[in-house]
């Protein structure tokens, strides 16, 4: 095994330390399996030379008992071995999948903006499932077949070391093709798992955007996309099957040379009187039984190479650096008044990379123009600041930096004088409530979707938040009320209803800082009016950042910032900006006068 593959497997084995007692029990049971196979081969010689010889009738009655006893020993040992080693393997895979998922959740929004979600799902599900085969089933085979092979080899040399040397001439030759085949299989496993990730991404996009697919009638296009990628996956798997299928015939062919040599030399030794017929038959039985574990170990090596290929992808994801983490000396932010300051902030998104590079942990550094340069802003507690401007002006970037989805390249952001990069992310998020334009609701009950902002909230608190968001009425009309399951992303609700649930979730958060990104964009005129009233009540006494394209929703903000190319182009109240007849005035006239 290559050095890098060995390092990967050692890393896998480190996960097994917690379950060492189970593995030890399985190892002890494996000795019983191996001993029974060796005993069968050894007992052939006395059976032929003594039991079947004249005068051996007295021993015949013991033969059935020996056969049944060996079967009981092998069967019981095999059960204990497989149960303990397989459960240990499952627990190892469980821990690995948990660690991979936990690590992925810690990665920043910058990472998620570069890597397709289908690729991440495939790593956690498919790659770990491929790895699971080695961690459980194949570990059983390695232990069992390995001990059996060792026992039979010892027996062969004990019976006749000259014949044993003839039988083992083929083993060094068999290692070369087995090693080559294993490396090719590992290579194609890595490629096939990339295809599986692509397939998962296609499925996720098609099902997640099924309304768009149906609206534009592109079912045939999506079908063709899937079929092309599915065929690419087949091609990779077919190559794995080709190499895997060749391993056993190669070992059998090489074994035939060894068997032919043993028969030729052994028969001559019997005729010359050097060994008995029983000894030769016992040797041939042990040799035949030895080639079985050898072939299975070659097959096992192929599966292990598949697992190593999957493990390399899994560990590459786990080794992705957490580029946005709590500082070692981070302190809890605590309850804040909401005084927010941006000081000389520069920011730019990470450079783009190919899907393969990103999927294989080739994280790119920043290599593009800044989307925010020398940005300065001082927002007093309880102030409502509106961010307006054309798409791409930097409005959402301001909110993303404040929520610490990203860290600035230069400068700092403080809340009540505390640098947010020096406080724990958990305490920061507890002081922030977000209502995003991209509404996301879980395939769960209404109550659990609202409680996502406060997991221990009572039903009374949930109803209060829904009332403030003007969502209580339509929920009360549902037969199951708060326990209504709303479907994937809230598909069973209208756009306005989903938006109001999102607002209720933010209300329940009861945070000092509100981030509203087009919070009323999906509402009709009547709903927008009542929800805007609810939002105004909610914003009172809180620091609020409002992003809006419709200027009618931000006219009453304490200050309006007109963003352009990542900078504050104009600022002031609605009346001041309108009277200035600048860029804001032009935006206003465009919206209201067409």
pLDDT for the residue numbered 506 = 87
Helix, coil or strand: residue 582:
coil
Q: CB of 128 within 8 A of CB of 266? A: no
Pairing mode, strands 372-379 and 418-419: unpaired
At 258, the pLDDT band (50, 70, 90 cuts) reads: low
Overall average pLDDT of the 344-363 stretch: 55
Instruction: For residue 344, give the H/E element and its range.
Output: strand 340-347
Residues 86 and 222 in one domain: yes
DSSP state, 331? B
Q: Is 245 exposed, middle or buried (0-12, 13-18, 19+ CB in 10 A)?
A: exposed
pTM listed for this prediction: 0.72
Residues 397 and 258 in one domain: no
Q: Quote the CA–CA distance of 46 and 279 in Å, as a whole number.
A: 8
472 CB-near residues (< 8 Å, 6+ apart): 463, 466
- Give 95-154 pLDDT, tens digit per residue: 888 998 889 888 888 788 788 787 888 888 888 877 776 555 566 667 667 777 777 777
Residue 437 lies in domain: 379-401+425-593
Q: Quote the CA–CA distance of 40 and 275 in Å, as a whole number.
A: 19
Residues 307 and 388 in one domain: no
Backbone angles phi, psi at 467, to 5 degrees: -65, -40
347 within some domain: no
Instruction: Give the end of a domain, one of 302, 318, 334.
Output: 318
> Total structural domains in the chain?
2
pLDDT for the residue numbered 77 = 86
User: What distances in angstroms separate CA 330 from CA 20, 107, 407, 413, one per listed residue?
Assistant: 37, 18, 15, 15
346 within some domain: no
Angle at Cα 138 formed by Cα 136 and Cα 141, nearest 5°?
Answer: 120
At 352, the pLDDT band (50, 70, 90 cuts) reads: very low
DSSP state, 488? G
- Give 35-53 pLDDT, tens digit per residue: 787 777 676 666 666 555 5
Residues 304 and 435 in one domain: no
324 within some domain: no
Q: CB of 414 within 8 A of CB of 420? A: yes
Residues 309 and 452 in one domain: no
Could you tell me the CATH number of the domain that includes residue 435?
A: 3.40.50.300
Angle at Cα 392 formed by Cα 397 and Cα 529, nearest 5°?
Answer: 80
353 within some domain: no
pLDDT for the residue numbered 66 = 77
Residues 49 and 172 in one domain: yes
Helix, coil or strand: residue 75:
helix
Q: CB of 143 within 8 A of CB of 270? A: no
Q: CB of 345 within 8 A of CB of 419? A: no
432 within some domain: yes
pLDDT at residue 253 greater than cutoff 70? yes
Could you tell me the CATH number of the domain that includes residue 195?
A: 1.20.1560.10
* CA dihedral for 293, 297, 303, 307, sign (positive or negative): positive
44 within some domain: yes
Residues 574 and 493 in one domain: yes
Helix, coil or strand: residue 165:
helix
Residues 281 and 389 in one domain: no
Burial profile 474-499: b = 16 or more Cβ within 10 angstroms, e = fewer: ebeeeeeebebebeeebeebeebbbb
410 within some domain: no
Instruction: Give the end of a domain, one of 318, 350, 368.
Output: 318
- Give 449-490 pLDDT, tens digit per residue: 899 888 888 989 999 888 888 788 888 888 888 888 888 777
Residues 291 and 395 in one domain: no
Q: Quote the CA–CA distance of 423 and 431 in Å, as a whole number.
A: 12
Instruction: Give the end of a domain, one of 297, 318, 339.
Output: 318
Burial profile 37-70: b = 16 or more Cβ within 10 angstroms, e = fewer: bbbbbbbbbebbbebeeeeeeeeeeeeeeeeeeb
pLDDT at residue 360 greater than cutoff 70? no
Helix 277-318 × helix 170-208 angle, to 10°: 40
409 within some domain: no
Q: How far is CA 519 from the centre of its chain?
A: 32
Residue 462's nearest CA partner among 506, 508, 498, 503 is 508
User: What distances in angstroms separate CA 177 from CA 138, 171, 174, 353, one per listed residue?
Assistant: 20, 11, 6, 37
pLDDT at residue 584 greater than cutoff 50? yes
Residues 310 and 455 in one domain: no
pLDDT for the residue numbered 365 = 42
Residues 143 and 281 in one domain: yes
Residues 68 and 206 in one domain: yes
């Amino acid at each position: 095994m290559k050095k890098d593959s060995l390092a990967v497997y050692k890393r896998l084995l480190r996960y097994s330390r917690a379950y060492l007692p189970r593995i030890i029990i399985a190892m002890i049971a494996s000795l019983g399996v191996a001993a029974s196979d060796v005993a069968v081969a050894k007992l052939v010689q006395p059976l032929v030379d003594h039991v079947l010889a004249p005068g051996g009738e007295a021993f015949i009655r013991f033969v059935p008992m020996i056969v049944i006893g060996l079967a009981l020993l092998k069967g019981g040992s095999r059960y204990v071995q497989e149960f303990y080693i397989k459960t240990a393997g499952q627990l190892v895979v469980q821990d690995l999948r948990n660690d991979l998922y936990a690590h992925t959740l810690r990665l920043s929004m910058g990472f998620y903006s570069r890597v397709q979600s289908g690729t991440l799902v495939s790593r956690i599900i498919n790659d770990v499932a491929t790895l699971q085969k080695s961690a459980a089933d194949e570990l059983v085979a390695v232990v069992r077949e390995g001990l059996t092979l060792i026992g039979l080899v010892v027996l062969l040399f004990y019976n006749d070391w000259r014949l044993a040397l003839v039988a083992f001439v083929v083993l060094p030759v068999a290692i070369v093709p087995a090693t080559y085949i294993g490396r090719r299989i590992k290579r194609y496993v890595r490629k096939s798992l990339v295809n599986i990730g692509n397939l998962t991404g296609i499925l996720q996009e098609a099902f997640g955007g099924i309304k768009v697919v149906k609206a534009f009638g592109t079912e045939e296009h999506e079908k063709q996309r899937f079929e092309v990628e599915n065929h690419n996956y087949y091609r990779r798997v077919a190559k794995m099957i080709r190499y895997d299928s060749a391993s056993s015939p190669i070992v059998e062919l090489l074994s035939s040379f060894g068997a032919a040599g043993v028969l030729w030399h052994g028969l001559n030794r019997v005729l010359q009187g050097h060994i008995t017929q029983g000894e030769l038959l016992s040797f041939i039985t042990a040799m035949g039984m030895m080639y079985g574990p050898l072939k299975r170990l070659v097959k096992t090596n192929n599966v292990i190479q598949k697992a190593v290929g999957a493990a390399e992808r899994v560990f590459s994801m786990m080794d992705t650096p957490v580029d946005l983490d709590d500082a070692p000396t981070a302190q809890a932010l605590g309850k804040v008044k909401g005084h927010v300051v941006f000081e000389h902030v520069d920011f730019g998104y990470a450079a783009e990379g190919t899907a393969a590079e990103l999927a294989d942990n080739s994280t790119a550094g920043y290599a593009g123009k800044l989307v925010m340069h020398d940005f300065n802003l001082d927002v007093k507690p309880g102030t409502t600041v509106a961010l307006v401007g054309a798409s791409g002006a930097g409005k959402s970037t301001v909110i993303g930096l404040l929520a610490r989805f990203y860290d600035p390249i230069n400068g700092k952001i403080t809340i009540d004088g505390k640098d947010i990069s020096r406080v724990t992310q958990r305490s920061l998020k507890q002081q922030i409530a977000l209502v995003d334009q991209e509404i996301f609701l879980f395939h769960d009950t209404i109550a659990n979707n609202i409680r996502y902002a406060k997991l221990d909230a009572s039903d009374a608190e949930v109803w209060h938040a829904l009332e403030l968001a003007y969502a209580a009425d339509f929920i009360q009309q549902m037969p199951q009320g708060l326990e209504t399951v709303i479907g994937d992303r809230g598909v069973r609700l209208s756009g306005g209803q989903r938006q109001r649930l999102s607002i209720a979730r933010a209300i329940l958060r009861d945070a000092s800082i509100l981030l509203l990104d087009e919070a009323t964009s999906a509402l009709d005129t009547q709903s927008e009016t009542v929800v805007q009233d609810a939002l105004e009540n909610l914003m009172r006494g809180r620091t609020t950042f409002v992003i809006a394209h419709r200027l009618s929703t931000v006219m009453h903000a304490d200050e309006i910032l007109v963003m352009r190319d990542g900078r504050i182009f104009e600022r002031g109240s609605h009346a001041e900006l309108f009277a200035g007849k600048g860029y804001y005035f032009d935006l206003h006239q465009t919206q209201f006068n067409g």
